[in-house]
Structure 1
Amino acid sequence: MKLHVIFLIIWALFGTSESSDNGVCGDRPLAEDFRGSRVVGGKDAEPGNWPWVISIQEYRDDEYFHVCGGVVLNNLWVLTAAHCFRDVGNEYYSWRLVFGTNQLSDMGAHAQIRTIKEKIEHENYDPDTESNDIALVRLDQTIVFDKFTQPACLPAKQAILSKLDDCYVAGWGVIKEQSTGTSDILHEAPVNIIPVEHCNRPTWYNGAVGDYNLCAGFEQGGDDSCQGYGGGPLMCKRSKAKFYTVVGITSWGSSCRQKQILGVFTSTQYYDEWINGEVFKKPQMSAVKKLFWQIAEFFYKIVKKVFQRS
């Protein structure tokens, strides 16, 4: 058999593109450039603005209801908050995750629905203080990346978050303080990152915010993350940069839209090692394909040298 034929067979078996499995983090094919268009108070998001934001939904009374948001990490894993699963036992196995949609009552043709195969809460999560409020969800089957569904970027360990000056929260949470129902359409709102030491002032959260948290909102009041935004992302970038990075997962807050009462988020940068350790602890198909491709490439080089010598 000729060398190029051998190579083509190896490519067909193991040469699946990694990007088709894992997408391009931070890619927003349908989103318009946000620079100069921040709207204080927030607004409904356009389809495709935040393709890594998903809805986690509880099943009760023969219907699904939005419980929390989540963030796509890759085609098999979602990042969210541990408090989303508080006091639910194993009922979350009947829940569903909705990808690629803006409006929950009319999800559209691009929506993808998956169920939960495995849920991993941080081993030190404390529901009383909401410390280590972070969780991972492994899907029952992989998702397909398209213009409406893409993985999020997480910040590098050495990234300086204080330099990120263009931040948003997004979710299907409560929009008004006195409202009890969550939004049907994905809502986005600009926020500012507030130093943790400011949030911990006696007249603010009085030391309740940990080093593993981020604070965001507006010191004078305004949109932040209310009920129903839990598990959803805090997304930031430099004003002239192209890609947003998910720097936080919505955790808690005493109120919303109130002066000096801001949203508190779990820092994804702080938990970088935990996230990677859990996600890559279990082998995934894409990783297996990548390994086979590396082995195939190694043997191809050896065979090529043998053919050249003969």
Structure 2
Amino acid sequence: MKQLYLIFLFVRVLFSASESSDHAVCGNRPLVVDFRGSRVVGGKNSEPGNWPWMVSIQEHSEDGEYYWWRLVFGANQLSNKEINTQIQTIQEKFEHEKYYPELEQNDIALLRLNQPIVFDEYTQPACLPAEQAVLSKMADCYVAGWGAPDETSIKPSDILHGVPVNFIPVEGCNKPNWYNGAVGNYNLCAGYEQGTFDTCQGDSGGPLMCKRRKANFYTVVGITSWGSGCGQKQRPGVYTSTQYYLKWIFEHISDNTKPKSKNYKK
């Protein structure tokens, strides 16, 4: 598996300053009034604006010869050239210096864009968890992505899918008949013991998003990293913990441009 990248818009300074300050608060979803969703694998189609910090990283080519990455913001259905989408290229990438692909340790990287992003109803920055946040108290969790609908599928999904998941303690994920110690303290586990709903191939880099029951915004607590199959019993999704890497993330953001809004404290 290649090293994943954060394919959601989580810290606006990393991607350059926004040209609009009206939508600058993390976790804002202007088009969602009261989202409950369906109660990725087993997921249902998301409506435009449900998860406005989702970003699609695509390999693009010119005349079938020169290839480069492009990032599509504000998209829901990838085949539909929606007027609300923004396409950007990458100026710089920051790979974790201790990434170990054999064990998927430190499976995280950051991308800096060439141009500023305009925040609107379809494109918003996500919140990161505070260092002192107790993640186990966040009960309302979702994963989202354009990945394959199941492990037998060849093509990814054209429409963004989202599905609810439950936190599973790391010690539970590391039981002998589960992942047998392969899950690190820098990881989170989420899904269901019996399988069904899960992330799959093509979802890597997407967010694990949770909130407290009475909160009005979601926090990106994890990044889709790896798993055994898709939706299999006792094989939940394994995620890179953003809380564990807060210091590393902010070390790559200049001191004079750190955001001051909620959940960005070191």
Matched, 1:233 2:207: yes
Tell me which residue corresponds to 2:49: 48
Tell me which residue corresponds to 2:128: 154
CA contact (8 A) 2:20 2:119 kept: no
Give 1:1-310 correspondences, 5 Å limit.
20=21, 23-35=24-36, 37-39=37-39, 41-60=42-61, 62=63, 94-280=68-254
Q: 1:122 to 1:31 in 2, by over 3 A?
A: same
Give unmatched runs, 5+ long, in structure 1.
1-15, 64-90, 288-310
In 2, the alpha carbon distance for the partners of 1:255 and 1:61 equals 34
Deviations 1:200-245 (A, max 9, x none): 0011110000000000111111111101000000000112211000
Give the drift of 1:139: 0.3
Q: 1:160 to 1:111 in 2, by over 3 A?
A: same
Q: 1:102 to 1:62 in 2, by over 3 A?
A: farther
How many residues of Structure 1 are paired with residues of Structure 2 in the alignment?
241
In 1, the alpha carbon distance for the partners of 2:63 and 2:47 equals 29
Please provide the CA RMSD for this pair: 2.3
SS in 1 for 2:163: strand
Segment of structure 1 superposing worse, 18-27 or 240-249: 18-27
Q: 1:108 to 1:19 in 2, by over 3 A?
A: closer
Give the drift of 1:180: 1.0
Of the two, which has the highest radius of gyration?
1
Give unmatched runs, 5+ long, in structure 2.
1-16, 260-266
In 2, the alpha carbon distance for the partners of 1:166 and 1:17 equals 29
Name the amino acid aligned to 2:59: E
In 2, the alpha carbon distance for the partners of 1:200 and 1:17 equals 42
Q: State the identity as a percent.
A: 66
Name the amino acid aligned to 1:214: L
In 2, the alpha carbon distance for the partners of 1:141 and 1:21 equals 19
Name the amino acid aligned to 1:211: N
Give the drift of 1:51: 0.3
Higher relative CO (Cα under 8 Å, sequence separation at least 6) belongs to: 2
4+ runs deviating over 3 angstroms: 16-19, 60-63
In 1, the alpha carbon distance for the partners of 2:190 and 2:35 equals 19
Name the amino acid aligned to 2:43: G
SS in 2 for 1:279: coil
Segment of structure 1 superposing worse, 21-30 or 207-216: 21-30
Name the amino acid aligned to 1:171: G
CA contact (8 A) 1:32 1:49 kept: no
In 2, the alpha carbon distance for the partners of 1:219 and 1:32 equals 32
Tell me which residue corresponds to 1:9: none
Give the drift of 1:20: 1.3
In 2, the alpha carbon distance for the partners of 1:32 and 1:169 equals 19
CA contact (8 A) 2:20 2:118 kept: no
